[in-house]
Amino acid sequence: MSELKRASTFLSDNSGDPTMTQASTSETPAAIRADVRDLKFWYGKFQALNGVSMPIHDRKVTAIIGPSGCGKSTLLRCFNRIHDLYPGVRYEGEINLAPEHINLVAKGIDPILVRLLVGMVFQKPNPFPKSIFENVAAGLYVRGIRNKSEVEGRVEEALRQAAIWNEVKDRLNKPAFELSGGQQQRLCIARALAPKPKLLLLDEPTSALDPIATAKIEELMDSLVKDVTILIVTHNLAQAARISKYTAFMHMGNLVEFGETEQLFTNPAVTQTQDYVTGRFG
Amino acid sequence: MAGELNERRIVATSKAQDLVFAVLGIIVLFFAMAMLATLVADLLIDGLSRIDMQFLTDFPSRRPSQAGILSAWVGTTLVMFVTALLAIPLGVGAGLYLEEYAPKNWLSDLIEINVSNLAGVPSIIYGLLALGFFVYGLGMGQTVLVGGMVLALLILPIVVVATREAVRAVPSGLRESAYGLGCNRWQVVWSYVLPSARPGILTGAIVGLSRAIGETAPIITIGALTFIAFLPPSPIQASPPFLNFDWLNSPFTVMPIQMFNWTSRPQAGFHENAAATGVLLLGMTLVMNGFAIFLRYHLRKGLRS
Amino acid sequence: MSQSLDEGQTFAALKSSGFLRRGRVVAQAMQIILFACAALSVFITGAILWVLVSESWLFFSQIPLVTFLTDTQWTPAFTNARYGILPLLSATLWAAGIAMAVATPLGLVLSVYLSEFAQPRVREVLKPILEMLAAVPTVVFGYFALLFLTPLAKQFIPGLSGFNLLVPGFVMGIMILPYVVSISEDAMRAVPMTLREGAFALGMSRWRTAFSVVIPGAFSGVTAAYLLAFARAVGETMVVAIAAGQNPNLTADPREGAATITAYIVQMSLGDLPHGSLAYSTIFATGLVLFLITLAFNVLGFFLRRKFREAY
C-alpha cells in the first residue's frame, strides 16, 4: 500500500511542467514501477534530454512517441544505461525503480546491476550467433542460473510468453539466424523475458518487421503486460494508440505531455501534441 | 533483500572478471613490447659501436674488424630501386582494375583469390620461382634486375591491397561528378580517383618496400653471393648517353644477406658486424613504417574533417 | 577537324571528334593494360606451380613418391643418399606448432583486449606499436633468437642445444603475433554493435560479452587469422635457418636442432648448386611440399574470411 501512496504523492508533485493530463475520471492510479525525475542527459557537450519527469505504471504499457531526434530512444536507453558503452555520456536526475527505489542513473549504481533488473529489446532483431536455446538461456547463465532443469523450464516459459514456443520447440538447438525476422524479434523478447526483468524496454521493436510480424508482436504485448511492465518507443502513432495505456510525447529533448493514451490522442492539453497526433507536423 | 544481494554479488563477480582480463591484456601487451624493446636494445648494445665511416665504406673482409657493408648497402639501394619501379605501377594497376573495372564474374573471382593467395605464399617460394624461371629459364643470371624482380613480385599483393583500400575510400560522389563532366572511365580514374587515393597508395608502397628491404630468403635462393668485393657499374657516366644500365646485370649482395652471413660465423667479431648491420636494417624499416603510420594517421584525420 | 571541343558543335560533330576518339582509344588501351596487371597474379601463381613441378620432375622421376613421403632420413649429400621428407616436415611442423602455441593464446587475449576493452585512443597508440613489431626483418629476429634468447634460455632449460626448435619457434610466435592480432581484431570489430548491445543489455560483463557473443560472432574470421598465421609460420625461413640448425633430424624433442624445409632450401642455395642436378631438383621437390601446405591453409583461410565478410 505504501507504494500506492508514494505513487500518488509524486504524481501530484508533477502538476506543474510538463503538463500532466491527469486522468481524474478513471480508476485509482495504478502502482508505479519506476518514476523519472528531472532526468537530463548529455552526449559529450550536446544535451539530449532537458529534465524529463514521468511515471512508469506497473504492469501497463507506456509508449513514448515523438518526431525523429526528439530524444525518445535516448530516454529509453537511460533505463538500462546502455549509453554507458560509449564514452562521453553524462546523466543528471533520477530514475527510481520500485520496489527498492534504486536510482538507475546514479553514479554509484553499476550499469551491470541496472541491466540485471531491466530487460531490453532492440530495433533490429539481434540474436546471438548461437542456438535458439542458448540465446534464451544467455541471460540466465549471466545470473548464475546453471541448474539444467531450471534453465530448461525457464527457457520454455519465456518462449511461451513470447508466443514462439510452438514454432521453435522442435529445433531449439538450431542456430537462431535460421529464424525469420519476426521470429528472431520474438526470440529476442523471450531472451529479455527469461530473467524476469522488473521492466521491459522495447526500442521500436517492429520497425524492421512486416505488418503480419508486427501484429503478432502487438498481440503478444497485450498478453505480456499481465506480468511485466513495458516501456516502448515507437514512431508509429497508430501502434502507440493500439497497445499502450499511457503515452509520453517528446519533442527536442523535452517531455511535452504525458497522460493516458486515450486522453492524449483525443483531447491533448497542449497544442503541439495535438498538431503531432493529428499529423500536422513530425 | 536477498534478491538484491545476489545481484550485487553478480555485479562484483563481473567487475572482477573484467578487471582480471584487462590486466591480462595489458600484461600481454607489455610482454610483446618488452620483446621488441629487448631486441632493439640487444642489437644496439652489440652493434652500435661498430657503425662508423669505415664500416659503411669498406668491402667485406676475412678479418671482422676490417669488414664493411659497402657492397651490401649499394646492392640494397639498387635492388630497391628496381623493386619500387616494378611493384608500384603493376600493383596500382592491378588494384585499380579490381576496384574500378572488374566485372563480377569468375575471372575477377579467380584474380581475387590469386592475389590473396600470393600474399600468403612463403617468400622462399618466390625465390624458387625466380631461380627456376628468371635465372635459368630465361637465362638472366643472379643479377640486380632479378633480385629487384623477385622482391617486386613478393610485395605486389601488399601494394594491390593498399591500392584497393585507398580507391574504395574515394567517395563515389567524386566519380559521379567527374562522369557528369563527360569524362570517360580512364579519365575519371586518372584525373580524379588516383589523386585522391595517392596518400593511401603511398602508405602501402612504403610498407611493401620496408618488407622488401628486410627480405633475405628469396635473394639467397636465387644464389646471390655473400662475399662481394666490388660495386656494380655506376648508373651515371660522364660521356653520352650519361645513363648506363649495365648495373642491372651485375652480381650483387644485400644487407640482410650480409647480416645472415655474419650471424652464421662462429667468431664474435662477425656477430658484432651482424648486429651493426641489423641496427641499420632495423633503423631503415622502422623509419619507413613510422612514416607510413604517420601518413595514414594524417590521412584519417583528413577524412574525418 | 578541330583539336578540341568548341561550343556549338553538333552531336554528329561530337561523335566524330578526333579529340574524343583519341580519348576513347586511350581509355580502351588503359583498360587492357590494367587488366594485364591484374591478370599477372594468375600468371605468377601458374608460374610458381609450373616451376615447382617442372624443376622437381627429375627428383620425382628418380625417387618414388612413397619413399619420399615415408623414409625417415634425409641425407642427399651422403654417398648412400636417402630422400625421406619426414625429418624436414616434422621440424617444420614442430617450429610452426610452437609458434602457434605462443601466438594463439597471446593473440586471442590481445585482440579481445584491443577490440573490446581498450579505449579508442589507447587502441590508436597501441596498434602502430604492434605494426612496428611486424616490420622487424626476419633475419634480425633470427639473430635475436640465436645470439640472445638461446644463450639465455639455456640457463633455464636443461639439455637445450645451441641450435634448437624451441627458441626459434617461440620467436616466430612473437613474430606472427601482430599478424594474428590484426586479422582477428578486424573480425571482432566487424561484429555489429547491436549484438554487443544485446549482450550488455542482459547484464553481461565485457569479458562474457567478448567470449560468448563477439568471438562466436567472429568465429570464421578469427579462425581464418590462425590458419593464415600457421601458413606464415610454416613458410618462415630466416629464423629457423639461423637458429634451428641445418641438420635434418627426425626428433620429438624440440630442445634439439633440426632443419626445416625452408632451412634446407637456404642451406642448399648457399652452396654450389649445378642447374639440372638431382641436388638442384631436391630444393624444388621440398619447395613443392611447402607450397602445397601453405596453399591449403591460405585457401581455407581466404574462404573463411570471405564467408565471414558476407555474414555482416
pLDDT band at C126 (very low <50, low <70, confident <90, very high): confident
Q: Closest chain C residue to A122 measured between Cα atoms?
A: C198
> Measured between beta carbons, which residues in chain B are less than 8 angstroms from residue A116?
7, 10-11
Average pLDDT, chain C: 89
Interchain proximity B137–C284, CB inside 8 Å? no
Residue B216 one-letter amino acid: T
Torsion of CA A14, A16, A17, A18, to 10 degrees: 50
Which pLDDT score is estimated for B302? Answer: 62
> What are the residues whose beta carbons fall under 8 Å from the beta carbon of C38, sequence distance 6 or more?
B93, B94, B97, B98, B102, B111, B115
Torsion of CA B281, B283, B288, B289, to 10 degrees: 100
Which pLDDT score is estimated for B247? Answer: 79
> With contact defined as beta carbons under 8 Å apart, do A15 and A54 qualify?
no
Which pLDDT score is estimated for B162? Answer: 92
Count contacts between A and C (CB, < 8 Å): 67
> In which element (H, E) is residue B79 found?
helix B70-96
Which pLDDT score is estimated for A25? Answer: 38
Q: Residue ranges of the domains in chain B? A: 2-48, 53-304
Which pLDDT score is estimated for A153? Answer: 95
pLDDT digits (tens, 9 = 90+) for B226-247: 677 777 777 777 676 767 777 7
Interchain proximity C202–A82, CB inside 8 Å? no
A93: left (phi over 0), alpha (psi -120 to 50) or beta: left
Count contacts between B and C (CB, < 8 Å): 285
Give the phi and the psi of residue B11 in degrees, each rounded to 5: -60, -45
Residue C306 burial class via C-beta count within 10 angstroms: exposed 0-12, middle 13-18, buried 19 and up: middle
Check whether B82 has a pLDDT greater than 90. yes
The larger pLDDT score, comparing residue C14 to residue C223, is at C223
Pairing of strands A32-43, A89-97: antiparallel
Give the phi and the psi of residue C207 in degrees, each rounded to 5: -60, -50
Which pLDDT score is estimated for A279? Answer: 83
Which pLDDT score is estimated for A22? Answer: 45
Query: pLDDT above 90 covers what percent of chain C?
Result: 63
Average pLDDT, chain A: 87
Out of B1, B6, B11, whose CB is closest to A110?
Answer: B11
Interchain proximity C200–A82, CB inside 8 Å? yes
Which pLDDT score is estimated for C5? Answer: 53
> With contact defined as beta carbons under 8 Å apart, do C278 and C59 qualify?
yes
Touching A (3+ Cβ pairs <8 A), the chains are: B, C
Q: Does B7 lie at the interface with A, CB-CB under 8 angstroms?
A: yes
Length of chain C: 312
Q: How far is B209 from chain A (nearest CA, A)?
A: 38
Q: How far is A12 from chain C (nearest CA, A)?
A: 33
Count other Cβ atoms within 10 Å, centred on residue B72.
26
Which pLDDT score is estimated for A280? Answer: 77
Q: Does C202 lie at the interface with A, CB-CB under 8 angstroms?
A: yes
Which pLDDT score is estimated for C131? Answer: 84
Low-confidence winner among A34-43, B44-53, B194-203, B245-254 (lowest mean pLDDT): B245-254
> With contact defined as beta carbons under 8 Å apart, do B80 and B209 qualify?
yes
Instruction: In whole angstroms, give the CA distance from residue B123 to residue C210.
Output: 35
Q: How far is B1 from chain A (nearest CA, A)?
A: 9
Interface test with C, best of B116, B149, B253, B280 (most C CBs within 10 A): B116
Class of A2-277 per CATH?
A: alpha beta
Q: A34 pairs with which residues across the strands?
A: A56, A97
> Measured between beta carbons, which residues in chain A are less than 8 angstroms from residue B11?
110, 112-113, 116
Check whether A282 has a pLDDT greater than 60. no
pLDDT digits (tens, 9 = 90+) for C50-90: 999 999 999 999 999 999 999 888 988 888 888 999 999 99
Check whether B225 has a pLDDT greater than 90. no
Interchain proximity A138–C204, CB inside 8 Å? yes
Q: Closest chain A residue to B10 measured between Cα atoms?
A: A143
> Measured between beta carbons, which residues in chain C are less than 8 angstroms from residue B153?
44
Q: Does B11 lie at the interface with A, CB-CB under 8 angstroms?
A: yes
Residue A144: CA count within 13 A, CB half-sphere: 11
Class of B53-304 per CATH?
A: mainly alpha
Interchain proximity B4–A100, CB inside 8 Å? yes
Check whether A8 has a pLDDT greater than 70. no
Q: A248 pairs with which residues across the strands?
A: A64, A258
Q: Does A128 lie at the interface with C, CB-CB under 8 angstroms?
A: yes
Count contacts between A and B (CB, < 8 Å): 21
Check whether B21 has a pLDDT greater than 70. yes
Interchain proximity A113–B6, CB inside 8 Å? no
Check whether A9 has a pLDDT greater than 60. no
Instruction: In whole angstroms, give the CA distance from residue B221 to residue B278.
Output: 20
Low-confidence winner among A58-62, C17-21, C255-259 (lowest mean pLDDT): C17-21
Out of C41, C143, C290, whose CB is closest to B274?
Answer: C143
Residue C75 burial class via C-beta count within 10 angstroms: exposed 0-12, middle 13-18, buried 19 and up: middle
Q: A249 pairs with which residues across the strands?
A: A65, A257
DSSP track, A136-198: HHHHHHHTT---HHHHHHHHHHHHHHTT-HHHHTT-TTSBGGGS-HHHHHHHHHHHHHTT--S
Which pLDDT score is estimated for C66? Answer: 92
Mean pLDDT value across residues C213-239: 93
pLDDT digits (tens, 9 = 90+) for C268-296: 998 888 888 898 999 999 999 999 999 99
Mean pLDDT value across residues B206-231: 86
pLDDT digits (tens, 9 = 90+) for C237-254: 999 999 998 889 888 888
Q: 0.95 exceeded by the pTM?
A: no
Check whether A23 has a pLDDT greater than 50. no
pLDDT digits (tens, 9 = 90+) for A70-123: 999 999 999 999 999 988 899 999 999 987 888 999 998 999 999 999 999 999
Instruction: In whole angstroms, give the CA distance from residue A11 to residue A55.
Output: 8
Out of A115, A128, A139, whose CB is closest to C195?
Answer: A128
Out of B1, B4, B10, whose CB is closest to A144?
Answer: B10
A119: left (phi over 0), alpha (psi -120 to 50) or beta: beta
Which pLDDT score is estimated for B4? Answer: 57
Interface test with B, best of A84, A112, A196, A198 (most B CBs within 10 A): A112
Q: Does C192 lie at the interface with A, CB-CB under 8 angstroms?
A: yes
Instruction: In whole angstroms, give the CA distance from residue C149 to residue C144.
Output: 6
pLDDT band at C129 (very low <50, low <70, confident <90, very high): confident
pLDDT digits (tens, 9 = 90+) for B29-63: 999 999 999 999 999 999 888 888 888 888 888 88
DSSP helix/strand/coil, A232: strand
Out of B1, B10, B11, whose CB is closest to A100?
Answer: B1
Tell me, rounded to whole angstroms, the distance of Cα C3 from its chain centroid.
53
pLDDT digits (tens, 9 = 90+) for C290-308: 999 999 999 898 888 887 7
Q: How far is B238 from chain C (nearest CA, A)?
A: 36
Check whether C10 has a pLDDT greater than 80. no
> Measured between beta carbons, which residues in chain C are less than 8 angstroms from residue B271?
147
Pairing of strands A118-121, A199-203: parallel
Low-confidence winner among A20-29, C7-16, C82-91 (lowest mean pLDDT): A20-29
Please state which of the four CATH numbers 1.20.120.140, 1.10.10.60, 1.10.3720.10, 3.40.50.150 is assigned to the domain occupying C86-308. Answer: 1.10.3720.10
pLDDT digits (tens, 9 = 90+) for B113-159: 889 889 999 999 999 999 999 998 898 888 999 999 999 999 999 99
Q: Residue ranges of the domains in chain C? A: 2-62, 86-308
> With contact defined as beta carbons under 8 Å apart, do A68 and C183 qualify?
no
Which pLDDT score is estimated for B211? Answer: 92
Closest to C208 (Cα-Cα) out of A107, A162, A148, A115:
A115
DSSP helix/strand/coil, B170: coil
Q: Closest chain A residue to C117 measured between Cα atoms?
A: A85
Residue A272 burial class via C-beta count within 10 angstroms: exposed 0-12, middle 13-18, buried 19 and up: middle
> Measured between beta carbons, which residues in chain A are less than 8 angstroms from residue B4?
100
What cell does C171 get? 620467436
